[in-house]
A = this chain, B = another copy of it.
Amino acid sequence: MAINFKAYESAFNLSLAENIAKEASKITSSLGIRIILAVPSVLALKLAEVYEDIYLEHVDPVGFGAHTGRIPPDSLKTLGIKGSIINHSEHKLVLRDVFKIIKNLNGVGIEALACGDTPAEVAALAYALPAMIAVEPPELIGTGIPVSKAKPEVITDSLEAIRRTGKDIPLLAGAGITSAADVARAVELGAKGVLVASAVMKAKDPFKVIRELAEPLSSV
């Protein structure tokens, strides 16, 4: 499971983030699953001190150099940050830049979680060999209408699109996932995990939500 903090007000609450990291540590140990926390860049280094599986929400298609306000993929290696989401629906890049970033991250041993809107975009991403691909229909993001129920074919067609490329990349399903049942359905369809955001970050009790969403993944 990957939890995208986005830029919700709660995402910049460091003590909340640290507590989410602690909860995630417990769950990953007890269930034997992985929980990636994709956090605002400003929090990443602090959180990476207390939790292993910290991602950035975005990195930029630049190398080290005179690029004010940009984060080169190489810098994640320097900083000990495990990976990065790229090409999220809310931070789209042209495909050329997505490939440049993934190649760069792969080159320094940092994980890329590449996002696609559709099976077609997923197909292209597969050729870049990111660590994971997440498919999220943009129109369902943040709605609470789960992709796994409203558009299950987006998941199955994405799996088929990856298969046809001949690459073997695990697929996460995202958009509208808010319950254990949504996660279980995504897994049944073939997803290896889920990408969630508002369900956790806007919850009254984010810890409880994380536990619930994680449960169905223990069997994957």
Contacts and interface: CB of A to CB of B under 8 A. Distances in A.
A42 B79 contact: yes
A40 B99 contact: no
Interface size class of A (residues with CB under 8 A): 35 or more
A128 B142 CA distance: 26
A95 B95 contact: yes
A178 interface: no
30 contacts: A4-B68, A6-B67, A7-B62, A7-B65, A7-B67, A7-B70, A8-B65, A9-B74, A11-B64, A12-B78, A14-B45, A41-B42, A42-B42, A42-B81, A45-B46, A66-B198, A68-B91, A68-B197, A69-B91, A92-B95, A92-B96, A94-B95, A95-B95, A95-B124, A99-B118, A120-B125, A120-B128, A123-B123, A123-B124, A164-B166
